Structure 1
Amino acid sequence: MMERDGMKRKSQRHHEEQPEARQDQAQATPQEISSEPTGEPAAADVAGLEARLRALEEENALLKQQLAEKQDSLLRAMADFDNFRRRTRQEMEEIRRIALEEFLRSLLRVMDNFERAMQAAEESQSFEKLMEGVQLTYRQLQSLLREAGVQPIEAVGKPFDPNFHEAVQRVESPDHPDETVLEEVERGYMIQSRVLRPSRVKVVKN
């Protein structure tokens, strides 16, 4: 009998608690309901991503434009350099041509004097006249070479130097030390500080 009374009281308490739970659920605020995860991104997040994407696209377009401008500038610079190199080459060729023409004009004057000397010697039948004309022409040619920066290499009596001399023969000479240039077979010349042609010489070897 007592057990049935206890079970009856528990059943009554259970029925009394259920309306309270339903009342609590009914009193839940909209904020609490909306705070539950729905599985979809918020509208603000989507808008932020779209704005970021537009910014990246604009930045990419700007970088492409800058790259195209740099490439165009590089191509123009390369074209300018090619034009400069071509003009420089043409100017150098023109300078060499003018210098060569000037040298040849001077050489023609030497040729003219040589022809006059031979003509005078032929008319007078004089060897002295011929020698006089040849010597005059030779001095004029030497002057022309000096003006062009050409100077003869001193060889005879100097120590043999392969930078300036070319040995064509080794000879004995008790009166001279070894490796001395004894005789010049063909004169060498310098132009400025460079060897135009080495002297061909005979060198002492005792």
Structure 2
Amino acid sequence: MSNKQARSAESAEELSVNTVDEAHLLEEDDTEMPELSVAELTEKLAQAELNAQENWDKMLRTQAEMENLKRRVDKDLDNTRKFALERFAKELINVIDSLELGIQASVSESPEVVKLREGSELTLKQFEATLARFNIVPVEAVGKPFNPELHQAVSTQPNGEVEPNTVLIVFQKGYLLNDRLLRPAMVVVSKAIDLPPENTPKIDEQA
């Protein structure tokens, strides 16, 4: 046998061995992956769908929580912007109180007092305009029903011309900052006039 024929025989033998090995591996793979019944496949599919739904629900809950957190943060930032002036505004309305008291006390009609009163009134108007630009406004009080969220009653006064619990007098103005109470108005509130009972014995004036 020539060398060429010998090499051909060896190659054929190696190919045959490799083919046998591959067939053996395929048989092993077949034994490792048994066929599943339709019922088992259906069960696995149902479980996979259930897992997918649970993961989807978790994702939706997480997304909702993130949106709620964003809204809370935005609200906190908005409140911070709105009410950052609160402390300064409280100090400023104390200055306005002093101006108003000074104007009320300047009853003299002497030229000096009149000039001082007019200057104070002009300054007061400028202060009020400045407050209004920053949404700081007085609490409505006189003639309004008493509101414990906006008014602080310092006394009551009998009055038959208005409904009970109506604000009659304002001792000190209240203020709102962006619709939130900055300071309550100190007020006098009406109450019903006490009438004598109808069954009170009448005094005989001729006795």
Q: Give the TM-score category using the shorter length.
A: 0.3 to 0.5
Give the structure-1-normalised TM-score: 0.41
Say which structure, 1 or 2, has more relative contact order (CA 8 Å, 6+ apart).
Answer: 2
Give the structure-2-normalised TM-score: 0.40
Task: Flag the structure with larger Rg.
Answer: 1
